[in-house]
Amino acid sequence: MTTPTVLATGPAPVPTTSWRGSSFGTQVLVLTTRSLRALVRDPRLVIFSLLQPLIMLTLFSQIFSSIANTPGFPRGVSYIDYLMPAILVNTAMQSALQVGVGLVTDMKNGVLARFRSLPIRLASVLIARSLSDLVRSAVQLTVMLVLAVAVFGFAPAGGVPGVVGALVLALLVGWGLGWVFLAIASWVRNAELMQTVGFLAMFPLMFASSAYVPISGLPGWLQAFADVNPLTHAVDAARSLALAQPVTGLVGAVLASVVLAGAGGVLAIRGFRRPAQ
């Protein structure tokens, strides 16, 4: 008689699933919070980021205040009301440069190397950088506006709605330029070179524009450059909103910011995906 064979059986295998990481939105939120937390932990960054635009506001409002008496200057407008919208746009542009410098710093200190080993999308790192800079710029510009009202008597005809409109436009321009500097940073990967390129680009845009004096007061060749300078259109639009004047250049400034953000985003992601050299 044949004895049946009994096979030994163990516990049933437990099905396993591999964790593929959090959602894209969660990644952006966590990385944005990380950047903002680093800023809060070092208040020196906030203080020094405010000093430069405040110094510029103080110097230009005092040195060039006599321009308000020249024939080409808008009648019934004080120089501080004329200047402050330009300071908002210029400060947002300078803040955009820092987002590129911050990206280069993360590339050099090994933070991004650790991110590459995690199941996160590299695009979320760039978007988080852009958003954290947008929040930082919003705080910075709001503090500047409060000081301009309290100390310098900034009181444009557009009131709060016009000032808020100028603030939003300045943030949009800075956000678009921030993506351009992120693209440059992802390719050059050098903080010193990044700052040099940024300042070489910013100073002609700042001073060869309608930011500090009416274009009619510039030499002929500078007038030609200022007329095609995209910063002129952004400053004119922000100034028109703040002064409750017919808005000029608003559509062009918004479209230019969106185009710069789109093109800069594509180039930044391509450069960011390159292996470290």
Residue 27 lies in a domain: no
SS3 233: helix
Residue 235 lies in a domain: yes
Residue 247 lies in a domain: yes
Residue 15 lies in a domain: no
Q: How far apart are CA 267 and CA 99, in angstroms?
A: 15
Angle at 241 between CA 89 and CA 221, to 5 degrees: 55
Residue 26 lies in a domain: no
Angle at 130 between CA 204 and CA 273, to 5 degrees: 100
Residues 192 and 176: beta-carbon distance below 8 Å: no
What range defines the domain where residue 58 resides? 48-272
Report pLDDT for 73.
Answer: 82
Residue 261 lies in a domain: yes
Per-residue pLDDT of the chain (277 residues; tens, 9 = 90+): 455 554 445 555 555 555 456 787 888 888 888 878 877 777 777 777 778 778 888 888 888 777 877 777 888 888 899 999 999 999 898 888 888 888 888 777 777 767 767 777 878 888 888 998 899 899 889 988 998 999 888 999 999 999 999 999 999 999 999 999 998 888 888 878 888 888 888 888 888 888 888 888 788 888 888 888 888 889 999 999 999 988 878 888 899 899 999 999 999 888 877 765 5
The 8 Å CB, 24+ separation contacts for 194-199 are: 194/97, 194/100, 194/101, 194/104, 195/97, 195/101, 198/97, 198/100, 198/101, 199/97
Residue 25 lies in a domain: no
The number of domains in the chain is: 1
Tokens found for residue 264: 């800069």
Q: How far apart are CA 185 and CA 104, in angstroms?
A: 6
Tokens found for residue 166: 């100028």
Tokens found for residue 140: 């910075």
Residue 9 lies in a domain: no
CB-based burial, 165-185: b 16+ in 10 Å, e otherwise: bbbebbbbbbbbbbbbbbbbb
Q: How far apart are CA 256 and CA 266, in angstroms?
A: 16
